[in-house]
Structure 1
Amino acid sequence: MSIMQAIRTFLFYLLLGTSSLLWCTLSFFIAPFLPFRKRYRFINVYWCRCALWLTRVFLNIHVEVKGQENVPEQPCVILSNHQSTWETFFLSAHFEPLSQVLKRELLYVPFFGWAMAMLRPIAINRDNPKAALKHVAKRGNELLKDGVWVLIFPEGTRVPFGQVGKFSRGGTALAVNANLPVLPIAHNAGKYWPKEGWAKKAGTIELVIGEPMYAEGTGPRAIAALNDRVAAWNEATQRAMGSVVAPAPSSESAVI
């Protein structure tokens, strides 16, 4: 990374951290008095748009979205590959209101966690996988009935650019049990925002929104079949954009 790029990256993180602290503090005093949808927009959409603006201005990272016409009117379960922090910013601002699975411990972080708690997240205890799956199913179904998008990264953790993690079935199970489709998303954000380190690379992220996928039937077999279709679509789409350069790992991923 060049000296100029290092300076720009430093300024990016400085402004990102400062804006996060200020906005979460402000949200803590204002957002509780707003109805949920306005609260979500105030806390999450505005700040995530700010983060994306900083990403464009200081890191020169842009995005090209394909398949916007595939987004259904009724909120459903979004399943996306996970390579960086960028897609969390983008998807949180692009779909609203949106809830996502996160570690319960994050809600205890002063101001940041308190602000997140007001966004109706699906907070889980990763040390208890069975309880986590049940909580995702119960809480996710409640949110979907209330017209809230539910974002799940089925790989369970960030996967390095060039690889595809094993897709868990939690997201497809939630969709099937709620009688809703899955909205598949694939991107190559890790190419410009790597999983490891602070260095960033200028460029244009490709993000593809696929057609909604419905299960053929109900029950475990239908859930597994839908999950396999989503995983195959994601890998094929990533390969088409030159994002997959290594075979999918065989190790088990996280439960959600």
Structure 2
Amino acid sequence: MSIVQAIRTVLFYLLLSSSAFVWGTLSLLIAPFLPYRARYRFIAQAWCKFAVWLASWMVGVRYELKGVENIPDQPCVILAKHQSTWETFFLTGYFEPLALVLKRELLFVPFFGWAMALLKPIAINREQPKVALKQIAKQGDECLKKGAWVLIFPEGTRVPTGQIGKFSRGGASLAVNANLPVLPIAHNAGHCWPKNGWAKYPGTIQVVIGPAMYAEGEGARAITELNQRAENWVIQTLRDMGELSADSAPQAVAEAS
């Protein structure tokens, strides 16, 4: 990374953290008096769109979106590839309202974390995966019934570029039980915003939204088949993008979703 890019990256982090403080403080003062959808737009959507714009302006991290026509009219379960923080910002800003599955520790972050708590996200304890899966099933179903999208990273953690983690069945199970489809999303954000380190690299992130997929039947077999179909689509799309080799196979990951 060049010296100029390093300076831009430091400035990006300073502006991002400053905006989180300012926006989080405003949200704590204003958002409690807003209805849920307006509260989501004020707290999460506006700031996340700002973060994506700031990344583009300051460090040259841009994006190209394909497959918008595949988005169903009714909110459903989003199963997205996970490589960085960028896709969390982007998807939170793009889909509205969206229930995000996140580590409960994030809600303790001063100001913005406290503001996020006002949106009642699905905050899980990743040290108790079995309890977390039950929580996702219960709260996720409630969110879907209220007309919110539910974002799940089925790999469970950020996986470096060139690799893919095994998809957990929690998202597919949630969709089948709610009689709704899953919406798979593939991207290569890790090239510009790597999993490890603070460096940011200029480039254009490719984001591809796949077709909405419905279960064929009911029960455990239908859940497994739907999950595998979504996983296969993401794998094939990443191969078409040149992100995975032809013999790449899902790997077990260290953390449960």
TM-score bucket of the superposed structures, by smaller chain: over 0.9
- The alignment-based identity, stated in percent, is 65
Q: Which runs of 4+ in 1 moved over 3 A?
A: none
1:255 aligns with 2:253: no
- Tell me the residue number matched to 2:105: 105
1:151 aligns with 2:156: no
C-alpha displacement of 1:249: 5.0
Q: Work out whether residues 164 and 251 of structure 2, in 8 Å CA contact, stay in contact via their aligned partners in 1.
A: no
User: C-alpha distance in 1, partners of 2:3/2:100?
Assistant: 36
- Tell me the residue number matched to 1:222: 222
Q: Work out whether residues 76 and 175 of structure 1, in 8 Å CA contact, stay in contact via their aligned partners in 2.
A: yes
C-alpha displacement of 1:176: 0.3
- Tell me the residue number matched to 1:7: 7
User: C-alpha distance in 2, partners of 1:59/1:109?
Assistant: 25
C-alpha displacement of 1:108: 2.0
Instruction: Provide closer, same or farther for how the CA distance between residues 78 and 162 of structure 1 changes in structure 2, counting only shifts above 3 A.
Output: same
SS of 1:216's partner is coil
Q: Supply the AA of the counterpart residue of 1:168.
A: S
Aligned length: 256
- Tell me the residue number matched to 2:192: 192
Listed as ranges, the matches of 1:7-26 within 5 Å are 7-26=7-26
Listed as ranges, the matches of 1:86-105 within 5 Å are 86-105=86-105
Instruction: Provide closer, same or farther for how the CA distance between residues 222 and 249 of structure 1 changes in structure 2, counting only shifts above 3 A.
Output: closer
Unmatched 5+ stretches in structure 2 = none
- Tell me the residue number matched to 2:213: 213
SS of 1:214's partner is coil
Residues 174-198 of structure 1 deviation map (CA, whole Å, 9 limit, x = unaligned): 0000000000100000011111111
Q: TM-score, normalised by structure 1?
A: 0.97
Residues 22-60 of structure 1 deviation map (CA, whole Å, 9 limit, x = unaligned): 100110111000000000000111111111111111111
User: C-alpha distance in 2, partners of 1:255/1:162?
Assistant: 20
C-alpha displacement of 1:209: 0.4
SS of 1:235's partner is helix
Between 1:101-110 and 1:172-181, the stretch displaced more is 101-110
User: C-alpha distance in 2, partners of 1:126/1:46?
Assistant: 28
- Tell me the residue number matched to 2:68: 68
1:51 aligns with 2:51: yes
User: C-alpha distance in 2, partners of 1:167/1:75?
Assistant: 21
Q: Supply the AA of the counterpart residue of 1:99.
A: A
C-alpha displacement of 1:110: 2.1
CA RMSD of aligned residues (A): 1.2
Unmatched 5+ stretches in structure 1 = none
User: C-alpha distance in 2, partners of 1:252/1:53?
Assistant: 31
Q: Work out whether residues 165 and 253 of structure 1, in 8 Å CA contact, stay in contact via their aligned partners in 2.
A: no
Q: Work out whether residues 8 and 58 of structure 1, in 8 Å CA contact, stay in contact via their aligned partners in 2.
A: yes
User: C-alpha distance in 1, partners of 2:178/2:4?
Assistant: 50
Between 1:243-252 and 1:42-51, the stretch displaced more is 243-252
User: C-alpha distance in 2, partners of 1:150/1:75?
Assistant: 8
User: C-alpha distance in 2, partners of 1:173/1:34?
Assistant: 32
User: C-alpha distance in 1, partners of 2:144/2:52?
Assistant: 26
User: C-alpha distance in 2, partners of 1:250/1:180?
Assistant: 27
Between 1:107-116 and 1:9-18, the stretch displaced more is 107-116
SS of 1:183's partner is strand
User: C-alpha distance in 2, partners of 1:169/1:253?
Assistant: 16
1:234 aligns with 2:234: yes
Q: TM-score, normalised by structure 2?
A: 0.97
Q: Supply the AA of the counterpart residue of 2:35.
A: P
User: C-alpha distance in 1, partners of 2:103/2:33?
Assistant: 26
